[in-house]
Amino acid sequence: MKVKPAHRTGNVQEYYFSQKLAQIDKMRREGSDIINLGIGSPDQPPSENTIASLITEAKKPTAHGYQSYTGIPALRKAFADWYKKYFNVELNPDNEILPLMGSKEGIMHISMAFVNPGDEVLVPDPGYPTYSSVTYLVGGIVRKYDLEEKRGWIPDLKALEQSDLSKVKLMWVNYPHMPSGTKVSIALFEKLVAFSQKHGILLCNDNPYSFILNKEYISLLSVDGARETALELNSLSKSQNMAGWRIGMVAGHSEYIKNILKVKSNMDSGMFLPMQMAAVEALNNPDSWYDTVNSVYKKRRKIVEEIMEILNCRYDKTQIGLFVWGRIPENINNCEMYIEEILNKSHVFITPGFIFGRNGERYIRISLCANENRLTEAKSRLLIIKI
């Protein structure tokens, strides 16, 4: 190429699932029936009233113009009411909530708003790969901190405090945790808030999985003092089956929100009004709607656990969220080759844990976002093959 890409792109790779989906698409075009158990994209629809609202609002001639960068008041209020009802957290909808086009967007906005080149960012290992890639893109320095099964997938804050934290600006946490499915406790959040206050670190909790196979709703912002040192991201992707709609939020102190808005307002021109109105409907879904969605996931999880047992993988039955996370047998030398062999022999794709970090190298992750027939078919195929 005559024009070279920016240096910042040298530290990031194409997202793993982007590459894998291309491979799966190629196999399908060649005639293979691939069962994709890799990605957590909910296959159940949003509630009927959510879809009806989108249709109704989209038919209005006045609904198609630019919108406010801060979202409509009704959406901010709906997010505030949702947080009050389920997390018992009071948020001012006028200045402590910023709607986003998905929480993934928020990871970039927060990083751009607070991380200078050379600032260090604490990133969980294993954890969502975007925390690292966005840090690299904004010129930050990634500092992985270990999450390990033997510690219950929670950070060792004492070990971190024995290191030099003077350059750390931001710390990403993600509870309920992806990929391990670990629940969170108020005690852990209290320790994290105290840690971030002591060291002047902005603590960010990415919280999209609270409603999946779980009724213990806990927000980082429920901890005393958290508002001064923490932000929380949330999303309708998993909780409301609206992954493709790209609707999320960030909540926290008004000054933090104001600085994030400086970035966001220069990167988009507001969210489509009918989608915002539909999101209001979704956030007002009754408890029974969540129960219905989870009843489906509960049945699927039973089959996925049986798949884990067929593969001789060890897993924790108390996990929550959209996945089952399991440790592969000790006789398997290379997880990536193991997954590739499963794909080629059974035409079932499972996510290898190494994509989430070094501490995920001996693990696999199976999604609950496939119907019971497909999961049963995957189970049958895996019973036949010999890996």
Q: What is the mean pLDDT of the chain?
A: 96
For the beta sheet containing 230-235, the strands, ordered from the edge strand earlier in sequence to the opposite edge, are 97-100, 248-252, 230-235, 202-206, 168-173, 120-125, 141-146
For residue 19, the model assigns a pLDDT of: 80
Same domain (yes/no): 370, 331: yes
Same domain (yes/no): 107, 23: no
**What is d(CA 210, CA 310) in angstroms, rounded to the nearest whole number?**
28
160-180 residue pLDDT tens? 999 999 999 999 999 999 999
Assess if residue 60 is contained within a domain.
no
**What is d(CA 119, CA 166) in angstroms, rounded to the nearest whole number?**
9
Of 231, 252, 283, which residue constitutes the final position of a domain? 283
Tokens of 84: 């009050």
**What is d(CA 51, CA 279) in angstroms, rounded to the nearest whole number?**
9
Same domain (yes/no): 256, 206: yes
For residue 18, the model assigns a pLDDT of: 77
pTM over 0.85: yes
Same domain (yes/no): 117, 185: yes
For residue 8, the model assigns a pLDDT of: 85
The percentage of the chain sitting over the pLDDT mark of 90, rounded to a whole number, equals: 91
For residue 41, the model assigns a pLDDT of: 93
Confidence band of 386 (pLDDT split at 50, 70, 90): low
Same domain (yes/no): 270, 332: no
Assess if residue 54 is contained within a domain.
no
For residue 242, the model assigns a pLDDT of: 98
Residue 7, pLDDT > 90, answer no
Same domain (yes/no): 93, 39: no
**What is d(CA 305, CA 314) in angstroms, rounded to the nearest whole number?**
9
Of 237, 256, 283, which residue constitutes the final position of a domain? 283
For residue 298, the model assigns a pLDDT of: 98
Assess if residue 19 is contained within a domain.
yes
326-344 residue pLDDT tens? 999 999 999 999 999 999 9
Average pLDDT over residues 370-375: 98
**Which residue range is the domain that position 211 belongs to?**
65-283
Confidence band of 1 (pLDDT split at 50, 70, 90): low
In the chain, how many domains are there? 2
Strands (DSSP E) along 214-372, which ranges? 230-235, 248-252, 314-315, 323-327, 348-349, 351-352, 363-367
Of 283, 298, 319, which residue constitutes the final position of a domain? 283
Same domain (yes/no): 292, 151: no
**229 contacts 252 by C-beta, under 8 angstroms:** no
CATH number, domain of 82, equals 3.40.640.10
Same domain (yes/no): 326, 244: no
Same domain (yes/no): 237, 91: yes
Same domain (yes/no): 80, 172: yes
Assess if residue 239 is contained within a domain.
yes
φ, ψ of residue 197 to 5 degrees: the values are: -65, -45
For residue 345, the model assigns a pLDDT of: 94
177-216 residue pLDDT tens? 999 999 999 999 999 999 999 999 999 999 999 999 999 9
For residue 349, the model assigns a pLDDT of: 95
Assess if residue 56 is contained within a domain.
no
Same domain (yes/no): 110, 256: yes
CATH number, domain of 335, equals 3.90.1150.10
Q: What is the separation, in whole angstroms, between the first and last Cα of the chain?
A: 43
Same domain (yes/no): 228, 102: yes
**What is d(CA 256, CA 109) in angstroms, rounded to the nearest whole number?**
11
Residue 387, pLDDT > 70, answer no
